[in-house]
């Protein structure tokens, strides 16, 4: 019991001496702490931001229909990072083929047909108008159910309205902000979309600011869009969302088999269309984020290596400056091990202080990105704990050689120093 109390007493005394030594060399200690903090801040900050981006991506694509898949033409090449979804072009999906599929596919799923009428439309109301960046889509009555959108006010299109080629539009939250800044109710108002006059039937609930913008959109009946925005290269997308919990892979296979028949393909023919699950794009994006994570780790480790060299240098200088103090402590009975621990504690303490400030600043900067993405507050606990451990290792490695040097100083020579 007495031996334990003695060890605790020595430990506390070493901590006090370490704090006193850090205070007496404030400038060098602060500079070293700052270098360590910058390294940890770069590491934790970038990784926190990446976690925020991952969270935002996952949330946004979940809102777009997490349990759905889309049949698209293979006529357009799409590449994300190093992943290519196709290597050659095929015929486009016609409206007739999409309609036949919608009529035949009765597997307990909601089927929606849509196409992009314009990716850079301008919307006007009175003297107000938007930038030419509005995405205009032709949709059917099932589009909102499968795309993750919700109506905030007004209503969706009816089957009769789509068949009658009615001039109606459902607008996103950004359109409302740009065209109706004075708080005028947009429902029933006539606006001009890409030169076409349309009556506002509904307003979409905001999806918020994110990587994938979902509020700068307009939806019009697909028949109206076909009549006024047709083009030789027009192709349609078919989105399928199960109404009940089912095996999505099995339903995807059934949909592919049916659409192959509709397209008139032989059993040996390659499918000339794509089937993309709703989470496939986000998976590709998240896959490419790993390279950013690797870059952040390398930057942080290189900075920490520089901090370790600086910390070792400051500790060696400290040993030289305190040679006489070491001699006095040894002369009055301090053990070699006690002297070694004193300098080791000092080095570890500087490392942990740098780590603490670096983690704090890193989480702060990372969550600033999270705030801009309207994502939730993120604390990467794994990386925080990794940062603490890394700073401890830096402290031990940088302080060990100076601590051994201090412990091996001859007390007689130390007392005669200076």
Say if CB 116 and CB 210 are below 8 A apart.
no
Residues 31 and 77 in one domain: no
H/E run at residue 243: none
Name the phi and psi angles at 253, rounded to 5.
-65, -40
Per-residue pLDDT tens for 145-168?
Answer: 888 788 999 999 999 999 999 999
pLDDT at 20: 74
Of the three residues 211, 243, 277, the one that is the final residue of a domain is 277
Choice among 84-98, 321-335, 345-359 with the minimum mean pLDDT: 84-98
pTM of the shown model = 0.57
For residues 179-204, average pLDDT = 90
The verdict on 187 and 307 lying in the same domain is no
Give the pLDDT of residue 102.
92
Residue 237 has pLDDT above 70, yes or no: yes
Statement to judge: residues 56 and 71 lie in one domain:
no
Confidence of residue 296 (pLDDT cuts 50, 70, 90): confident
pLDDT band at 96 (very low <50, low <70, confident <90, very high): very high
Structural domain contains residue 31:
yes
158 with 272, same domain: the answer is yes
Confidence label for 113 from pLDDT (cuts 50, 70 and 90) = very high
Across 90-104, 142-156, 368-382, least confident range: 368-382
Which DSSP category does 126 fall into? T
pLDDT of residue 87: 45
pLDDT tops 90 at residue 197: yes
Confidence of residue 3 (pLDDT cuts 50, 70, 90): low
Considering the domain architecture, whether residues 316 and 360 belong to the same structural domain is answered as: yes
Residue 86: what pLDDT? Answer: 45
Beta bridge partners of 273: 73
Look at residue 66 and tell me whether its pLDDT is greater than 80: no
Round the CA-based radius of gyration of the chain to a whole number and report it: 33
Give one DSSP letter per residue of 180-220, joined into a string: -TT----TT-EEEETTEEEEEEEEEPP--S-SS--SSEEEE
Counting beta carbons within 10 angstroms of the beta carbon of residue 47, is it exposed (0 to 12), middle (13 to 18) or buried (19 or more)? buried
Closest to 85 (Cα-Cα) out of 98, 67, 73, 97: 73
Best mean pLDDT range from 32-36, 193-197, 336-340, 344-348: 193-197
Q: What is the pLDDT of residue 168?
A: 95
Task: Give the pLDDT confidence score for residue 14 in this predicted structure.
Answer: 67
55 found inside a domain: yes
Largest CA distance in the chain: 104
The whole-number pLDDT of residue 371 equals 75
Please give the backbone phi and psi of residue 345, each rounded to the nearest 5 degrees, phi first.
-60, -40
pLDDT of residue 153: 92
Distance CA(205)–CA(174), nearest Å, equals 10
Residue with more model confidence, 231 or 237: 237
Distance, in Å, from the CA atom of 194 to the CA atom of 121, rounded to the nearest integer, reads: 5
What's the number of CA atoms in the CB half-sphere (13 Å) around residue 365? 16
pLDDT tens per residue, range 5-41? 666 666 677 677 777 777 777 777 788 788 888 878 8
Residue 274: predicted pLDDT: 86
In a domain, 106, yes or no: yes
- 383: its two tokens: 């990386």
Among 33-47, 169-183, 282-296, the least confident range: 282-296
The mean per-residue pLDDT over the stretch 298-317 comes to: 78
Q: Note whether 311 and 173 are same-domain residues.
A: no
Same domain for 368 and 222: no
Q: Do 132 and 122 touch, CB atoms closer than 8 A?
A: yes
Choose one of 277, 296, 331: the last residue of a domain.
277
User: Are 133 and 217 spatial neighbours (Cβ–Cβ below 8 Å)?
Assistant: no
Q: With contact defined as beta carbons under 8 Å apart, do 366 and 51 qualify?
A: yes
Instruction: Name every residue whose Cβ is closer than 8 Å to that of residue 71 and which is 6 or more positions away in sequence.
Output: 93, 101, 237, 238, 239, 240, 255, 256, 259, 273, 274, 275
Residue 4 resides in a domain = no
251 close to 244: Cβ distance less than 8 angstroms: no
Q: Tell me: do 109 and 151 sit in the same domain.
A: yes
Shared domain for 235 and 299, answered yes or no, is: no
> Length of the chain in residues, anyone?
418
Per mean pLDDT, which range of 40-44, 112-116, 202-206, 349-353 is the poorest?
40-44
What is the DSSP secondary-structure string of 23-59?
Answer: HHTHHHHHHHHHHHHHHHHHHHHHHHHHHHHHHHHHH
Report yes or no on 91 lying in a domain. yes
Please identify, among 277, 303, 330, the residue that sits at the C-terminal boundary of a domain: 277
Query: Which residues share a beta bridge with 190?
Result: 199
- Domain coverage including residue 372: 9-60+285-415
- Same domain? For 101 and 243 the reply is yes
In a domain, 166, yes or no: yes
Lowest mean pLDDT among 63-77, 130-144, 335-349: 63-77
Helix intervals (H) in 210-269: 222-228, 248-263
Query: If you average pLDDT over residues 243-258, what whole number do you get?
Result: 81
**Is residue 83 domain-shared with residue 32, that is, in the same domain?**
no
pLDDT(183) > 80: no
- Average pLDDT score over the chain: 80
pLDDT of residue 51 exceeding 50: yes
C-alpha separations of 8 from 14, 15, 90, 221 in Å: 10, 11, 77, 78
In a domain, 3, yes or no: no
Q: Is the pLDDT of residue 353 over 90?
A: no
2 is a domain residue? no
3-state secondary structure of 239: strand
At 91 the pLDDT is 75
- pLDDT at position 163 is 92
In whole angstroms, give the CA distance from residue 402 to residue 350: 14
Lowest mean pLDDT: which of 24-33, 90-99, 391-400, 405-414?
Answer: 405-414
HSE-up of 219 (CA within 13 Å, CB side)? 25
What is the spatial distance between Cα 43 and Cα 358, in angstroms, rounded to a whole number?
9
Question: How many domains does the chain fold into?
Answer: 2
Instruction: Answer yes or no: do 295 and 257 share one domain.
Output: no
In this predicted structure, what is the pLDDT of residue 284?
A: 66
Paired tokens of 145: 């159910």
Q: Given this model, what pLDDT does residue 211 score?
A: 47
């Amino acid at each position: 019991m007495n031996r334990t109390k003695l060890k605790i007493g020595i430990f506390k005394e070493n901590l006090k001496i370490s704090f006193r030594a850090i205070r007496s060399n404030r400038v060098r200690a602060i500079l070293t702490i700052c270098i360590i903090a910058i390294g940890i801040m770069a590491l934790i900050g970038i990784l926190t931001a990446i976690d925020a981006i991952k969270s935002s991506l996952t949330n946004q694509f979940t809102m777009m229909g997490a349990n759905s898949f889309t049949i698209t033409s293979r006529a357009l090449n799409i590449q994300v990072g190093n992943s290519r979804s196709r290597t050659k072009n095929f015929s486009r999906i016609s409206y007739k083929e999409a309609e036949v599929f919608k009529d035949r596919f009765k597997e307990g799923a909601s089927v929606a047909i849509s196409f992009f009428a314009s990716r850079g439309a301008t919307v006007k109301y009175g003297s107000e108008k938007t930038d030419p960046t509005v995405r205009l889509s032709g949709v059917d009555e099932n589009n909102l159910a499968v795309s993750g959108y919700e109506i905030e006010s007004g209503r969706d299109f009816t089957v009769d309205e789509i068949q009658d080629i009615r001039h109606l539009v459902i607008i996103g939250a950004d359109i409302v902000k740009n065209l109706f800044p004075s708080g005028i109710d947009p429902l029933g108002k006539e606006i001009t979309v890409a030169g076409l006059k349309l009556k506002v039937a509904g307003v979409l609930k905001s999806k918020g600011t994110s990587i994938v913008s979902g509020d700068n959109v307009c939806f019009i009946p697909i028949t109206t869009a076909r009549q006024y925005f047709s083009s030789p290269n027009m192709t349609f997308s078919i989105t399928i969302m199960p109404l009940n919990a089912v095996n999505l892979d099995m339903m995807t296979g059934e949909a592919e088999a049916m659409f192959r028949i509709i397209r008139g393909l032989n059993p040996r023919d390659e499918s000339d269309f794509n089937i993309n699950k709703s989470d496939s794009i986000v998976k590709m994006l998240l896959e490419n984020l790993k390279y950013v994570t690797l870059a952040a780790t390398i930057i942080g480790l290189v900075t920490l290596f520089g901090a370790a060299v600086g910390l070792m240098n400051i500790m060696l200088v400290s040993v030289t400056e305190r040679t006489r103090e070491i001699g006095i402590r040894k002369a009055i009975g301090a053990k070699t091990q006690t002297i070694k621990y004193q300098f080791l504690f000092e080095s570890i303490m500087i490392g942990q202080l740098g780590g603490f400030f670096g983690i704090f600043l890193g989480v702060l900067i990372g969550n600033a990105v999270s705030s801009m993405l309207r994502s939730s507050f993120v604390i990467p606990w794994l990386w925080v704990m990794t940062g603490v451990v890394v700073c401890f290792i830096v402290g031990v490695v940088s302080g060990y050689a100076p601590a051994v040097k201090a412990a091996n100083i001859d007390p007689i020579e130390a007392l005669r120093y200076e």
